[in-house]
Amino acid sequence: MGRLLGRLLRVLAWLAPVYQFRVACHRRCGVKIGRGVFIGANVMIDSEHPDYVEIEDWASIGPGVMVMAHSGASPYHQRFKIYHGPPKKVTIKRGAWVASGAIILPGVTVGEGAIVAAGAVVSRDVPPMTMVAGNPARVVQKLNSDGTQDSHY
Each residue's pLDDT tens digit, 77-128: 777 777 777 889 999 999 999 999 999 999 999 999 999 999 999 999 999 9
Which alpha helices (DSSP H) does 16-137 contain, by range?
Answer: 19-29, 75-79
Q: Residue 67 falls within a domain, yes or no?
A: yes
Residue 151 lies inside a defined structural domain of this protein: no
CATH code of 44's domain: 2.160.10.10
The residue-averaged pLDDT of 37-50 equals 92
Please say if the pLDDT value at position 74 is more than 60: yes
Structural domains counted in the chain: 1
Each residue's pLDDT tens digit, 5-14: 877 888 888 7
* Residue 148 belongs to some domain of the structure: no
Residue 150 lies in a domain: no
Domain span at residue 113 reads 3-142
Separate counts of helices (H) and strands (E) for the chain: 3, 14
Amino acid 151: pLDDT: 57
CA atoms within 13 A on the CB side of 141: 15
